[in-house]
Amino acid sequence: MLDIPFVNSSFLSQFVELVLSRGGDADALAHKVGLPSEAINGAHMPIPFSQFIALLELAAEELNFPEISFALAQRQDITILGPLGIMLDDSQTVADAVDVIQQYMKIIVSGIEMEIIENNGLLEFCLHCQLPSLYDKPQFQYYLLASIAKILGDITGKKYKIRGCFFTRVESNSKKIKRFTQLLGCPVAFGSDQIKITMDSAVLQEPTVGIRNYIIARMRTFMDSQEEFIKQVSAVISIFLASGKNDIDSIAKSMGYSPRSLQRRLKESSSSFKHLLDSVRLTHANQYLKNTQYSLTDIATLLGYSNLSAFTRAYRRWHGINPRNARQVIELSSKE
């Protein structure tokens, strides 16, 4: 198990643009919390949840922008979930889509699980968080609920509205509560016993044609060239690495291919699944080694290896040096 909860950097999509719109420097903010520039500039990589929230908290303070989490979530759409978008293409109803999301959250973010409870015509999306150090951070709960609300809105359409958003943190300022109601587009409640979103349960039977057509349109742009296809497969591999589901069967299924078809398309692009898997692992390994917050065991897990020894053997094959020594070289060069 990974020692620290992580979230995929895809959840920082649009962060750079948002910070620029407020006259800020996104790279400088990322550097201050120990995140590499790749994490905010399109790379798909797991990052510590603590750094993700620290970045939002810092931006909120330095840009005098306490609503940054709501603004970020509003700029994003369901594509922040990466290959989940493709997986949702098989969903015929909202119930199907919600089931996929519930399972997939364990891959794209650790430390959070979503429980869905249906009771007397009301549907509750309860978010269980194993993140005690982050639980009371304002931007943590703001972004968590705002992003889930946005994704649910994308899937369910305009017919069914969110009935309520519930925060466990306390807020007594009536003006702020009114503002949160406006930002989320639904009633809000603070001091709740759990973080959750409620909707009418009838939404589960609604067809997902609208979101499926949207997903198809968005993904078509990735399929237009062989170069983009290679980038897409690499991005999907990146997202799946930490889950341990980095075999060709899992990656192909998430992209709507059979393993044989995926391998054939990669061969047409003068590549192979093994080559891409090694390439993605090598790129991420070097990024993680620069971050002292990750232990070598953490890095092995993030790269989808069953143990540190397997990672060490692979890294020595790539670079002719073990990762521990490579980290020492990186640390020395950074001090020069």
Residue-wise pLDDT tens digits, 146-164: 999 998 888 887 788 899 9
- Structural domain of residue 23, as residue ranges? 6-205
Residue 219 lies in a domain: no
Statement to judge: residues 18 and 130 lie in one domain: yes
Residue 56 lies in a domain: yes
Q: Any idea what the CATH number is for the domain that residue 17 is in? A: 3.90.1520.10
Pairing of strands 46-48, 112-119: unpaired
Closest by Cα among 124, 107, 293 to 203: 124
Residue 306 lies in a domain: yes
Statement to judge: residues 192 and 240 lie in one domain: no
Statement to judge: residues 267 and 136 lie in one domain: no
Q: What is the pLDDT of residue 336?
A: 59
Statement to judge: residues 78 and 201 lie in one domain: yes
Statement to judge: residues 112 and 232 lie in one domain: no
- DSSP E strands in 150-230: the ranges are 164-166, 188-189, 195-200
Residue 130 lies in a domain: yes
Q: What is the pLDDT of residue 107?
A: 66
Burial state string for 244-258 with b = 16 or more CB within 10 A and e = fewer than 16: eebebebbbbbbebe
Statement to judge: residues 35 and 106 lie in one domain: yes
Residue 74 lies in a domain: yes
Residue 217 lies in a domain: no
* Amino acid at site 166: F
Closest by Cα among 234, 235, 240, 236 to 303: 240
Statement to judge: residues 39 and 152 lie in one domain: yes
Which residues in the chain come in under a pLDDT of 50? 1-2, 222-223, 225
Closest by Cα among 34, 73, 28 to 51: 34
Statement to judge: residues 81 and 133 lie in one domain: yes
- DSSP E strands in the chain: the ranges are 6-8, 46-48, 112-119, 122-129, 164-166, 188-189, 195-200
Q: What is the pLDDT of residue 1?
A: 42
Count of residues for the chain? 336
Statement to judge: residues 14 and 125 lie in one domain: yes
Q: What is the pLDDT of residue 222?
A: 47
CB atoms within 10 A of CB 268: 10
Count up the domains in the chain and report the number: 2
